Structure 1
Amino acid sequence: MSRIVYVNGAYQPEEEAKISVFDRGFLFGDAVYEVTAVLDGRLVDFDAHLARLDRSLKEIELSLPIPHEGLRELHEALIAENKVGEGIVYLQISRGPAERDFAYPEPALPTVVAFTQSRPLLDNPYAETGIKVVTIPDIRWKRRDIKSTSMLGQAMGKQAAKRQGAYEAWMVEDGFVTEGTSSSAFILDADGVLRTQPLGSHILPGVTRRAILRLAKEEGLRVEERPFTVAEAIQAREAFLTAASAFVLPVIEIDGHAIGDGVPGPVARAFRAHYIAEARAS
């Protein structure tokens, strides 16, 4: 049976779904998106994803074309139609079709697209084995806090990691790790302090990142939103990444250097278990 997707108010088989060749999301990457995890057929952290969507839309001066409740119903309908027990829902909102011109069209006619992907999230083998990371220069634009579809830099970085046999690439700017191509970067440094980049226009405000920082503070772990270098990451007790579709994954190697004992650390394991338990309970 064909997957059902959503395009501008219609639920239809994926092979019948179409958007205009003049859509600004296609021509300029003039669009924002969100990816929400699904566990047990239910949305995870959806309110936080809606809040970040609102912020991204505000930053690109585009009005939300569907109210929050409508977006929730849309997501839940796709989950039900496609019988998704575990996976993700992808939502994209572009400024819509218009004659090709760099200036924003007035009025804008937003295009809304959404689809599901069924995939195992709980039984991710990398949660047990840990992952390898390589570092690359951060070549992206300066408004990384907007969850834009303009992601060529991230795609190039992910491909560079793949060619080197790594799961993820951590991007480096001015000597400091900013974030992964599709994840937030954390270390438990040599002093036992949990560190990650502070929020700003240079990184995406990750939804899972926010949850892990909250959990860490609730557990009494010392937390500092403070940059770290590649050398500090290599010398760390533990390293891990967070992402909506990966939750928490331990990093066991960076640029060929083993992190800690070279196996997933107890802090990363505990965060993953705690986050999943909380997500399923809520």
Structure 2
Amino acid sequence: MPGPTSFAVIVGAMKCGTTTLFNELAALPEVCGSVPKEPMYFSRPGWDDGLSRYQALWPDYDPAIHRLALEGSTEYAKYPDFPNVAERIAAFEAEHGLSFRFIYIVRDPIELIRSGLAHGQNAGWFDGDRERLFRHLVQVADFEQQTTFYRETFGPDRLHIMQLEALTADKTATLARLCAFLEIDPPSPFEIGGTASRLNSAEQRKADLDAAAGAEHLDRLRALKGIYGKVVPREMREQLRPTLQRMAGRVLRRPEPQWRISDAEQVALRNALAEPVAQFADRYHLDRSGWTPL
């Protein structure tokens, strides 16, 4: 069975709802989602190994059903850490006679950076180097710079810009505009359940980490409980209970990650982003009324 030749790629921006958007689009009948969602194919070595290797990311693709193959790799919009992605895709497209369209979703850049700090520190990015992580996130949030490569390489008509805030507020209209860009049928109102749910959020990730840590400690305590009950008399256990509970609370309490943007970081990101974010918003007529002022 022939593999896909028409592709839609969510290139970013990270922490702007790309996972939610991917799931919304992959659920449409004419769209086949990649496995995994973020193959990072064109940002890593081996991107020029041939068409069949790329097409293998869509094992469920059926040309009788699907019109588009979808992937969502946010590394594609993380210049300069991952350079030359647009140029690679253009060369791959020309060599194999393919067609690519690009989707870029944005949000309040301050919220992007705040969420990215939580995500990156929890995941141990850059070996815990917060300063390096912050610089990386400021570059990611420079929407104007990250999209320039796609506008210049493929032309503005093959790049669709959308806002997470719009997707959350009016999913039906926002997805309808996106589907018109992709030239596929939009979902019916009956298939859309109100506002877009947020996946892969910082709050969800922190809750998952807390739950995992709690389960790990609980398993250890259960193993010790039997020994403790046999060695320490019951009366003494009752007397020691309040003290042990306070000690356990101190041991099990997870330190609060340093997610807050410091005053110095606020100044740095304002100096770096105020002008390009305003330029980007004006270019695409974005509503910044709900965004944190830069």
TM-score band w.r.t. shorter chain? under 0.3
- Ranked by relative contact order (alpha carbons within 8 Å, sequence separation 6 or more), the top structure is 2
Normalising by structure 2, we get a TM-score of 0.25
| Higher share of residues assigned strand | 1
Question: If you compute each CA radius of gyration, which structure gives the higher value, 1 or 2?
Answer: 2
Normalising by structure 1, we get a TM-score of 0.26
